[in-house]
Amino acid sequence: MRIATWNVNSVNARLPTVLDWFSEAQPDVACLQEIKCVDEKFPREAFEDLGYNVETHGQKTYNGVALLSKFPLSDVRRGLPGDDSDDQARYIEALVEAPAPVRVASIYLPNGNPLGTEKFDYKLAWFERLRLHASDLLTHEEAVALCGDFNVIPTPEDAKNPEAWVTDALFQPESREAFRALKWLGFADSHELGDEPAGTWTFWDYQAGAWRRDHGIRIDFALLSALAADRFRGIETHRDARDMEKPSDHVPVVVDLDPEPPAWSMR
């Protein structure tokens, strides 16, 4: 099973590019972020024509997340629990009913800039709500994949030029600590499982020639619960997507899981 995560930075603005990538990469499941449209404006038919079931949690102009799957999707959750007043479309989750099911979430974590404002407080509060919900998911003994743009640079090694990010919300000690707390629940970073090389970035800003100079950061992740990590086969970060026509500033990250659970778990 191929699970992809990609911040597409407006699905309608980049639809030909996104569809070209889907046709070539053929993910079984895709988690999209920053679709930047309400549900009714999502190009559902274009993906259904490629064989995908589509679930969205959209928002006009900003944010928005989607799940696309060649398998049926059930038990769909739109929005992260813990704050009924939060109207930002940043989280969608569903059970992928493959022969060996996986619960998958598409996550667009708040950016948090500028520091010293309610935006950074919102980021940390959202992170804590995610941690609490992820902890609850682990009690159900399902394979779980938390995928998306987490808007955090976990370590200095996750940036080409970490000094450039020291005053940014993505690289603050509180942001990095929140990410570690999520992982310590029992989630494995697919990048580490697959031993991807240093310099495997997932985002290059449109400004200041970041792509040309390879001034990238790694902020897009596929975090796997133990039952999902047991099925891990490999990971590929599709760097070439950043060089496509009218690209997103992020690139897809694709994780391959064994379609069947390990034999020991079936005894």
Q: How far apart are the first and last CA of the chain?
A: 22
| 250 annotated ligand-binding residue | yes
Residues acting as catalytic residues = 108, 149, 250
| 12 annotated ligand-binding residue | no
> What are the residues whose beta carbons fall under 8 Å from the beta carbon of 232, sequence distance 6 or more?
188, 190, 193, 194, 224, 255, 256, 257, 258
Q: What are the residue ranges of helices labelled H in the chain?
A: 15-25, 44-48, 118-138, 173-183, 190-193, 226-229
| 149 annotated ligand-binding residue | yes
| 7 annotated ligand-binding residue | yes
| 75 annotated ligand-binding residue | no
Answer yes or no: are the C-beta atoms of 251 and 202 closer than 8 Å.
yes
| 53 annotated ligand-binding residue | no
In one-letter notation, the amino acid at residue 38 is V
What would the two tokens of residue 33 be?
């972020």
Indicate the annotated binding residues: 7, 34, 149, 151, 249-250
Binding residue positions for Mg(2+): 7, 34, 149, 151, 249-250
